[in-house]
């Protein structure tokens, strides 16, 4: 009997409860798929428990825009001293309430853990679910079940440190465990020393522990098993997929998308492996719609062109959405001709970071974008019939009312071409290049004061004081109204099925 067969025999009786604390989306959590495959291949019984999918309401990303959204945005972004002061407080209270372990949540957890013999609990968590994770760990501890915790932010040691205090956590993994997860689970069940695995943090090894190095994207990367998802409850099926991990640009100072467990460096996958995954997943889940989670789908032009050239060959009739970065390296895969080909290949919607219409602020963010080039891209894509959704950042350190006015002008110029805009407050996030720079030279950021880092939730509270406050407030008010006007228009038909998704 070969060693893998004997390993399978030994594991076949073992039950892994995999808890998905990311899932507030109308499509399956990709990470859970990536974790399930190697465990099943090793012979474990894997039960995926996604309490947020039914205990908490799914939160769509873009809801239908009404005057209520406008009112909420005005309060969220208010700069009046009274309201600004209360804003952080309100944010913290609302988060605490929204992400609390409700009674149905607690009952569901208890039922899952007591239901059958669970040998090990694996939790995949976004940081806002700290209290829910605490509840699960406490239950597991009562039953004497080991718990391994993981998620996008646990490669950041300062964050992991805060979470290791949780009662009942055996260890936290920082990194991408696809090739070692079966062995990790085996060691957990048999109470062996986990700290020999790179990426494992425990209370005893914490001083020397490090995140695991970024995973090599070989052809052996497992194809995510998304069978745990309740496909039948979702009329518009969408399959998540990644052609690579990380971002080919990777420099924007505010960006935490390039500092997490799976995105710390840019790695593209073998083209053939991606095409095979598209074809297989489409057949498995009877679905021809895809959402690419790549941070910047045009990072590797060979891969970008490969998807465009082959999508309809591997999945005839496919439609898809993706996020791109309009950068300063010329057209970089986003010239009109390629966009037309991408549309013909089923691309229906694109997300991108506009962030600001001010070139000065753009340079300050190290966004690497020329505002003019961005304008040309928007014009080309929309004329071709690709729906566009862009993010805009308000309150970036150093932003002035003149910068906001430039953003207003830019949006006005492209009003008809932009389908949806997502306005986000600048977030100071631990692990970002902004954090490093701010800690070294805080005096370079005179508009930011009273900054307190919160590593448990990878965020920070601070006070933002732009110069010429009244003019700034006035410009901000006009920007919020303009964005509301963009968002309240109906979406083009071809993008409807992706609304609220990206």
Binding site for ligand B12 (CB under 6 A): 22-25, 29-31, 34-35, 61, 122-124, 126-128, 148-153, 173, 176-178, 256-257, 260-263, 293, 458
Q: Which does 497 bind (CB under 5 to 8 A by kind): ligand B12, ligand SF4, none?
A: none
Q: Which is nearer to ligand B12, 34 or 410 (CB)?
A: 34
Strands 267-268 and 200-201: unpaired
- Site for ligand SF4, residues 345 to 364, rule: CB under 6 A: 353
Q: Which is nearer to ligand SF4, 79 or 433 (CB)?
A: 433
Q: Which is nearer to ligand B12, 264 or 288 (CB)?
A: 264
Q: Which does 24 bind (CB under 5 to 8 A by kind): ligand SF4, ligand B12, none?
A: ligand B12
The continuous run of DSSP H or E covering 299 comes out as none
Q: Which does 250 bind (CB under 5 to 8 A by kind): ligand SF4, ligand B12, none?
A: ligand SF4
Enter the tokens of residue 105.
């949540």
Which residue carries 């965020």 as its tokens? Answer: 459
* Dihedral angle over CA of 335, 371, 390, 318, nearest 10: 0
Q: Answer yes or no whether residue 295 interacts with ligand SF4 by CB under 6 A.
A: yes
- Strand, helix or coil at 500? coil
Q: Which does 247 bind (CB under 5 to 8 A by kind): ligand SF4, ligand B12, none?
A: ligand SF4
Binder of ligand SF4 out of 132, 255, 347, 423 (CB under 6 A): 255
Q: Which is nearer to ligand B12, 247 or 371 (CB)?
A: 247
Contact 461, 468 (CB under 8 A): no
Contact 273, 292 (CB under 8 A): no
* Least distance from ligand B12 to the Cβ atom of residue 467, Å: 28
Q: How far is CA 107 from CA 115, 144, 211, in A?
A: 12, 18, 34
Q: Which is nearer to ligand SF4, 269 or 325 (CB)?
A: 325
Name, in order, each residue with C-beta under 8 angstroms of 6's C-beta and a sequence gap of 6 or more: none
Q: Answer yes or no whether residue 247 interacts with ligand SF4 by CB under 6 A.
A: yes
Q: Which does 353 bind (CB under 5 to 8 A by kind): ligand B12, ligand SF4, none?
A: ligand SF4
- Site for ligand SF4, residues 312 to 331, rule: CB under 6 A: 325
Enter the tokens of residue 287.
């679905």
The CA distance from 100 to 55, in Å, is 11
In 268-393, alpha helices (H): 271-284, 301-314, 336-344, 359-365, 371-384
Strands 15-21 and 120-125: parallel
Q: Answer yes or no whether residue 377 interacts with ligand SF4 by CB under 6 A.
A: no
Q: Which does 26 bind (CB under 5 to 8 A by kind): ligand SF4, ligand B12, none?
A: none
Enter the tokens of residue 36.
């399930």
Q: Which does 410 bind (CB under 5 to 8 A by kind): ligand B12, ligand SF4, none?
A: none
Q: Which is nearer to ligand B12, 136 or 308 (CB)?
A: 136
* Least distance from ligand SF4 to the Cβ atom of residue 271, Å: 21
Q: Which is nearer to ligand B12, 291 or 408 (CB)?
A: 291
Q: Answer yes or no whether residue 152 interacts with ligand SF4 by CB under 6 A.
A: no
Environment class of 82 (CB within 10 Å of its CB; exposed 0-12, middle 13-18, buried 19+): exposed
The CA distance from 345 to 375, in Å, is 23
Q: Which does 166 bind (CB under 5 to 8 A by kind): ligand SF4, ligand B12, none?
A: none
- Strand, helix or coil at 175? coil
* Least distance from ligand B12 to the Cβ atom of residue 337, Å: 28
What's the distance, Cα to Cα, between the start and end of the chain in Å? Answer: 49
- Strand, helix or coil at 422? strand
Maximum separation of any 2 CA atoms in the chain, in Å: 77
Binding stretches for ligand SF4 (CB under 6 A): 247, 249-252, 255, 257-258, 295-296, 325, 353
């Amino acid at each position: 009997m070969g060693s893998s067969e004997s390993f399978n025999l030994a594991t076949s009786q073992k039950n892994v409860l995999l808890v998905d604390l990311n899932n507030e989306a109308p499509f399956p959590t990709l990470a859970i798929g990536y974790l399930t495959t190697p465990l099943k291949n090793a012979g474990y019984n894997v039960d995926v428990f996604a309490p947020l999918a039914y205990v908490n309401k799914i939160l769509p990303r873009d809801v239908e825009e009404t005057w209520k959204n406008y009112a909420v945005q005005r309060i969220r972004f208010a700069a009046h001293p009274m309201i600004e002061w209360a804003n952080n407080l309100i944010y913290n209270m609302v988060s605490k309430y929204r992400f609390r372990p409700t009674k149905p949540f607690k009952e569901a957890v208890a039922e899952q853990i007591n239901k059958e013999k669970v040998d090990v609990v694996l939790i995949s968590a976004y940081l806002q679910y700290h209290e829910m994770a605490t509840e699960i760990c406490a239950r597991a501890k009562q039953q004497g079940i080991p718990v391994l915790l993981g998620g996008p932010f646990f490669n950041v040691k300062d964050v992991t440190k805060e979470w290791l205090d949780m009662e009942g956590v055996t260890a936290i993994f920082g990194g991408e465990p696809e090739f070692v997860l079966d062995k990790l689970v085996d060691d957990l069940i048999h109470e062996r020393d986990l700290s020999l695995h790179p990426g494992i943090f425990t209370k005893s090894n914490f001083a020397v522990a490090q995140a695991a190095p970024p995973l090599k994207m070989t052809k052996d990367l497992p194809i995510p098993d998304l069978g745990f998802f309740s496909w039948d409850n979702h009329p518009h099926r969408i399959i998540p997929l990644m052609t690579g991990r990380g971002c080919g640009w990777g420099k924007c100072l505010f960006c935490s998308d390039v500092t997490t467990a799976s995105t710390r460096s840019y790695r593209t996958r073998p083209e053939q492996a991606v095409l095979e995954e598209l074809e297989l997943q489409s057949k498995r889940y009877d679905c021809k719609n895809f959402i690419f989670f790549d941070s910047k789908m045009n990072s590797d032009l060979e891969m970008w062109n490969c998807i465009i050239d082959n999508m309809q060959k591997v999945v005839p009739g496919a439609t898809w959405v993706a996020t791109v970065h309009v950068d300063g390296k010329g057209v970089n895969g986003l010239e009109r001709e390629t966009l037309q080909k991408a549309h013909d290949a089923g691309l229906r919607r694109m997300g991108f970071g506009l962030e600001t219409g001010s070139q000065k602020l753009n340079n300050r963010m190290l966004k690497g974008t020329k505002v003019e080039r961005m304008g040309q891209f928007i014009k080309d894509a929309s004329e071709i019939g690709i729906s566009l959704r862009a993010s805009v950042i308000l309150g970036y350190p150093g932003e002035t009312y003149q910068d906001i006015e430039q953003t207003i002008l830019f949006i006005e110029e492209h009003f008809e071409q932009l389908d949806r805009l997502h306005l986000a407050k600048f977030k100071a996030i631990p692990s970002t290049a902004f954090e490093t720079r701010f800690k070294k030279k805080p005096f370079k950021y005179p508009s930011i004061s009273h900054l307190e880092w919160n590593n448990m939730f990878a965020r920070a509270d601070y006070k933002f004081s732009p110069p010429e406050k009244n003019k700034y407030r006035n410009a901000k008010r006009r920007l919020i109204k303009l964005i509301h006007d963009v968002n309240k228009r109906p979406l083009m038909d071809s993008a409807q099925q992706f609304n609220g998704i990206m």
